[in-house]
Amino acid sequence: MTKYEQLAEMLASCKKIVFFTGAGISCASGIPDFRSADGLYNQDSGQGYAPEQIISNTFFKRMTKEFYKFYRTKMVYPDAQPNSAHKFIASLQDTKEVSVVTQNIDGLHQKAGSKIVYELHGSILRNYCMDCHTFYSLESILSEQDIPVCSRCGGIVKPDVVLYEEPLDEDVIKKAIEAIYYADCVVIIGTSLMVYPAASYLQYYQGDNIAVINKEATSSDNGAKVVLHEDIVKVIEELQRVYHA
């Protein structure tokens, strides 16, 4: 039995599945990951600051204009579309109870049709005035050339994404952990599992049906039944070929 067949069998036998996803799942949609050679952290910000420094709360507060220049050009991909991996996950909802716990902020899981998505690090699609909390769309943020300000009160509008030095949303964390805890199966896709506290939530899983699909080794490899260090889209295409619900 191939690893693809093993994974297909695992998915078919389980009712409650959690997909724990990271930046790697969106690479085929044209969105770079963070830590690979071509990833965000290895790109020149063009501003004399390291990308990791720019996407911190301190930098946002002190140098908001420079933050937005980087954010609009390096972190937002409004034309990106879900790839076969996003779509496959969404398709399983027809016969399974599927939850997605994602570290991504791109909204592609929802765009593919996934209904239960816990966004640990927020979303580029939501933006709020820091003073009166008025909602603003991504389009309104991109239409501005400077710092976006609230049309109602004049406050600065901030993307609903978790920057370095900021806590994660406690309600989202609670729901994500609950989904992982009660899952029959957890499939880890496109994440190095190096980002904490997000990666630590996997410890709440009570079962032994773990699969890892990631180009590089992860800390969950040793405890997984199936490990595929391959291109994610290729794995999904092979999986679709052998999967039968």
Chunked into runs of 10 residues, the chain (245 residues) has average pLDDT values of: 95 97 96 68 68 94 96 94 98 97 98 98 97 97 94 97 96 98 98 93 96 96 96 96 85
- Residues 104-139 have pLDDT tens digits of 999 999 999 999 999 999 999 999 999 999 999 999
The two three-digit tokens of residue 104, written as one number? 């991504």
Instruction: Map out the domains of the chain with their CATH numbers.
Output: 1-31+81-121+168-245 (3.40.50.1220)
Q: Is 121 labeled as catalytic in the residue annotation?
A: yes
- Residues 46-73 have pLDDT tens digits of 677 888 899 999 999 999 999 999 999 9
Burial state string for 131-162 with b = 16 or more CB within 10 A and e = fewer than 16: eeeeebebeebeeeeeebbbeeeebebbbbbb
| Single pTM value for the model | 0.94
Catalytic-role residue among 86, 109, 121, 133: 121
